[in-house]
Amino acid sequence: MRDAVIVDAVRTPVGRRRGGLAGVHPADLSAHVLRSLAERTGLDPALVDDVVWGCVSQVGEQTACIARYSVLAAGWPEEVPGVTVDRQCGSSQQAVHQAAAGVVSGQYDIAVAGGVESMTRVPMGSSWGGGAFGEPYGPLARARYGGFEFNQGVGAEMIAAEYGLGRTEVDDFALDSHAKAARAIDEGRFLGQLAPVPVTGEDGTERLFTTDEGVRRGSTLEQLAALKTPFKADGVISAGNASQISDGSAALLVTTSEIAARHGWTPIARVHTATVVGTDPITMLKGPIPATAKVLKRSGLSLGDIGAFEVNEAFASVALAWLKETGADPALLNPNGGAIALGHPLGGSGARLMTTLVHHMRDNGIRYGLQTMCEGGGMANATVLELL
């Protein structure tokens, strides 16, 4: 039976909104990681059966199947196709799932999965069109939930209330995310996964964008406590304990063990088990909890078998609720920081998390890693990776 393995994974440093990557078109940003992946592995792009690419705001610079134009921007052969996936924040994790499924089924021999989002150039919510083309969701879905206006921030507040999470607890979690990310940068843990991006400054000079720029050092609880809670007057969710608006891209090379050996590649990990779930679209962000339960059941593994967890820090309350519900060891959660510190370039985040996870597993000899992330509309992907 065919398997699906990850040969290598690479990502750009994550840029802040209007930061170091603001001047790079998202197709060109994607092209950069595609070229970097090929260079690192010695991959002949002509052998790629498909590029499966996540992107959320598919409008403007990110429309017209950005996967295809990323392939062309990379200079890869015209014969290499691309498909763009939207499962909201989990789009590029879903892209890995689809690439792995294609490889296992024999539809693909070699696939590249990943994603991109430039939230500077294509702001979140742009695809709504300001109501010019009607409103999303539709009358039947709205009526089913009493006309509730689906909102992730509101959902994050509801989760915090359900799990009894106070302001100090969520702010503490945020500070810890920044501290872990800062340590990872200082200790060079990300160097093996980064593809620095050439960028042109306002003065016309070119430089390399080399490191994640969202990490805040020296923040205090007092500073975070002073931030407003926009989703609820007496709430706990603020800009300080939510994911950052970011730009970035990541890519992973997926094939079978047999084909990898034929090309002289030594894979990092096997895609052991992949699942997706749906959940309440009002709270919306609790999906990682049932997704974790489902992927563990299908994999035949227990929570104690997992040596590292990546749970996307869309909001601190999401990850904290997941910890409380699963009973996982907090020390194993997001060991190099999460989206609160590193940023959350929507369609690129699933691939960014998986890139960070597989490199962390290899660097530390961790046999099993688990990744899960909440998604708009009340969904979540979960993936178990096995070190090879």
Residue-wise pLDDT for 212-226, tens only, equals 999 999 999 999 999
The full DSSP string for 158-180 is HHHHHTT--HHHHHHHHHHHHHH
* Secondary structure, 3-state, 368-383: EEEEEEEECCCEEEEE
The pLDDT mean for the chain works out to 97
pLDDT means over runs of 10, the chain (388 residues): 98 97 98 98 98 98 98 98 98 98 98 99 93 93 94 98 98 98 98 97 90 96 98 97 98 98 98 98 97 98 98 98 98 98 98 98 98 98 99
> What is the distance between the alpha carbons of residues 239 and 257, in angstroms, rounded to a whole number?
43
The answer to whether the CB of 42 falls within 8 A of the CB of 306 is no
The pLDDT value given to residue 249: 99
Global pTM value: 0.98
As a whole-number percent, the residues of the chain with pLDDT over 70 amount to 100
Please count the helices (runs of H) and the strands (runs of E) in the chain: 12, 12
The full DSSP string for 210-259 is -S------S--HHHHHTS--TT-TT-S--GGGBPPBEEEEEEEEEE-HHH
Helix (H, G, I), strand (E, B) or coil at 332: helix
The pLDDT value given to residue 202: 79
Residue-wise pLDDT for 182-235, tens only, equals 999 999 999 999 999 999 887 889 999 999 999 999 999 999 999 999 999 999
- Residues annotated as catalytic are 89, 344, 374
Q: Distance of alpha carbon 8 from its chain centroid, rounded?
A: 16
The pLDDT value given to residue 130: 86
Instruction: Report which DSSP code applies to 14.
Output: P
The pLDDT value given to residue 201: 81
